[in-house]
Amino acid sequence: MQKITPCLWFDNKAEEAANFYTSIFKNSKISNSTRYGKEGYEIHGKKEGTVMTMDFEIEGQKFLALNGGPEFKFNEAISFIVTCKTQKEVDYYWEKLTADGGQESVCGWLKDKYGVSWQIVPEMTDKLVGDPTSEKSQRAMKAMLQMKKIDIEGLKRAYDGR
């Protein structure tokens, strides 16, 4: 049993978001949903029968999406990191997660159309930029800071001094 499950608070798009995320990640599924009843309407204000929660899983990680109301919004303080083996994989997740109103940021960061922050990161990034005393790593870091979506070959060229 997974001990910690991230809960994503939406106003009213939990079901839509769970379907969106599970359509992007190949190894994913929706496992359960709950609906609001009559009880508690004066507190939650949700129509009876509307989705309250969606349980879903991506790559073995369980999530809960909650239709909790408009009180809270996502911000960059929390993000999900997607580690990629190839540029094709980086491109795929970047395209899917920025679709329909998502926003690109720098250094592999983006926000999807719901405002959830993601980092799309090639697995060799730490090797290329991780040594603060290495001139090679510093060149790669400088290159990465100028990128939105990470370009693996661009990082390698900078690292190698080409």
135-145 helix and 152-160 helix, angle to the nearest 10 degrees: 140
2-55 pLDDT per residue, tens: 899 999 999 999 999 999 999 999 999 999 999 999 998 888 889 999 999 999
| pTM exceeding 0.85 | yes
Domain limits for position 128: 74-162
**Considering 57, 72, 87, which residue would you say is the last residue of a domain?**
72
- Other residues' Cβ atoms within 10 Å of the Cβ of residue 40: 11
Question: In terms of domains, do 32 and 88 share one?
Answer: no
Are 67 and 134 in a shared domain?
A: no
The verdict on 98 and 158 lying in the same domain is yes
Looking at residue 5, its amino acid is: T
pLDDT tens digits, 56-94 = 999 999 999 999 999 999 999 999 999 999 999 999 999
